[in-house]
């Protein structure tokens, strides 16, 4: 057999195995959620929506879902609102202060989760503002600030500064130049940053638990709490919900533009 053809099939086989390994837990948890009994068996003996009805009909699960969505949306919007002027100042003016702020914002994302959880738990404890849902939103916004900073920096680097100078030459002020040149080019990157922080915040457990404890029951916290007392099929329903939201968010991003580029890849990969 042709060596090049063998290498191609070997590469495809390897990628297929990796894909199957990644997809296996997703398929299993989705299948288990449709079991009509409480047993964790796969494949399901038959298909039933009983646990989905229990999940969406349980006020405790719904309260956790509302808290999770509220925290995730707030953290995403706040994080991008803070990152946008910093990234703009770095790109437009190259100021030392903006670069220092960008470095500080990105450094939090590099710390271990348990360290961040202890840091923010101590911070809110010192202020006396504890056990509140806004604490988790602010903490997540700060922790994930490095993501919109990186994504927005990629977007700004794709804009020709000459367009800004041309707009200024034509009499446009700084605000008009931003509105006419920067905003249209940056919209996909802003949407991508919001989506990325939203998904990460929705799935985060450790910081939310340490900052708010059991006073704010997000979905990850409720899943972990239920696991301590035993398996419940509604936990699989919550896991499927996380998967569906993630697939929908990033699938939508793929529809509005080049997702790899939005995620930071500047040059196409070689075949």
Q: How far is the first Cα of the chain from the last one, in angstroms, to the nearest whole number?
A: 21
Residue 144, both tokens: 């994930």
pTM: 0.82
User: What is the arithmetic mean of pLDDT over 149-164?
Assistant: 79
18, part of any domain: no
CATH number at residue 76: 1.10.3720.10
2: alpha, beta or left? (left if phi > 0; alpha if psi -120 to 50) = beta
| Residues 128-147, mean pLDDT to the nearest whole number | 86
* 6 domain residue, yes or no: no
Tokens of 232: 């419940």
pLDDT at 74 (0 to 100): 93
When pLDDT is cut at 50, 70 and 90, the band that residue 266 belongs to is: very low
Q: Residue 18: pLDDT above 70? A: yes
Please tell me the predicted confidence (pLDDT) of residue 270: 38
HSE, side-chain direction, 13 A CA sphere, residue 154: 20
Residue 25 pLDDT class (50, 70, 90 cuts): confident
Is residue 77 in a domain? yes
Q: Is residue 268 part of a domain?
A: no
Domain count, the chain: 1
The per-residue pLDDT of the chain, averaged, comes to 81
Other C-beta atoms closer than 10 Å to the C-beta of 259 total 16
Q: 250 is in which domain, residue-wise?
A: 59-262
7 inside domain: no
- B/e letters for 8-41, b = 16+ CB within 10 Å, e = fewer, are eeeeeeeeeeeeeeeeeeeeebbbbbbbeeeeee
Q: Please state whether the peptide bond connecting residue 260 to the residue before it is cis, i.e. omega within 30 degrees of 0.
A: no
Average pLDDT for 200-225: 84
- Res 267 pLDDT > 50: no
Give the total residue count for the chain.
Answer: 271
Q: Is the pLDDT of residue 269 over 60?
A: no
Give the pLDDT band of residue 238 (cuts 50, 70, 90).
Answer: confident
Region 216-223: mean pLDDT is 85
> Over the stretch 57-112, which tens digit does the pLDDT of each residue have?
889 889 989 999 999 999 999 999 999 999 888 887 877 888 888 888 888 888 88
The CA–CA distances, whole Å, from 97 to 11, 74, 89, 143, 165 equal 47, 26, 9, 20, 23
CA–CA gap between residue 202 and residue 172 (Å, rounded): 41
Instruction: Determine the Cα–Cα distance for residues 61 and 68; give it in Å rounded to an integer.
Output: 10
Q: Residue 12: inside a domain, yes or no? A: no
Write down the pLDDT at residue 112.
Answer: 82
Scanning 94-205, the segments in alpha helix (DSSP H) are: 96-110, 113-127, 133-143, 146-157, 161-169, 174-177, 183-203
Instruction: Tell whether 50 is covered by a domain.
Output: no
């Amino acid at each position: 057999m042709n060596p090049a053809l063998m290498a191609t099939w070997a590469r495809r086989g390897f990628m297929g195995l990796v894909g199957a390994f990644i997809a296996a837990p997703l398929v299993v948890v989705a299948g288990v959620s449709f079991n009509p009994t409480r047993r964790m068996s796969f494949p399901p003996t038959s298909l039933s929506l009983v646990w989905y009805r229990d999940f969406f009909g349980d006020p405790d699960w719904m309260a956790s879902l509302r808290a999770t969505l509220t925290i995730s949306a707030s953290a995403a919007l706040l994080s991008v609102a803070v990152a946008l002027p910093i990234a703009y100042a770095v790109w437009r003016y190259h100021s030392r202060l903006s670069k220092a702020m960008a470095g500080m914002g990105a450094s939090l994302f590099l710390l271990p989760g348990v360290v961040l959880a202890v840091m923010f738990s101590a911070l809110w404890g010192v202020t006396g503002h504890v056990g509140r849902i806004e604490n988790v939103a602010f903490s997540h916004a700060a922790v994930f600030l490095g993501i919109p900073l990186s994504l927005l920096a990629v977007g700004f680097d794709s804009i020709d500064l000459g367009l800004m100078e041309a707009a200024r030459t034509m009499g446009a002020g700084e605000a008009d130049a931003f509105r006419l040149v920067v905003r249209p080019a940056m919209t996909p990157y802003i949407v991508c940053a919001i989506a990325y922080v939203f998904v990460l915040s929705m799935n985060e457990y450790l910081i939310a638990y340490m900052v708010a404890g059991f006073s704010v029951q997000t979905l990850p916290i409720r899943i972990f709490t239920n696991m301590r007392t035993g398996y419940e099929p509604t936990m699989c329903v919550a896991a499927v919900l996380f998967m569906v939201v993630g697939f929908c968010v990033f699938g939508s991003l793929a529809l509005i533009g080049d997702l790899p580029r939005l995620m930071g890849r500047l040059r196409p990969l070689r075949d």
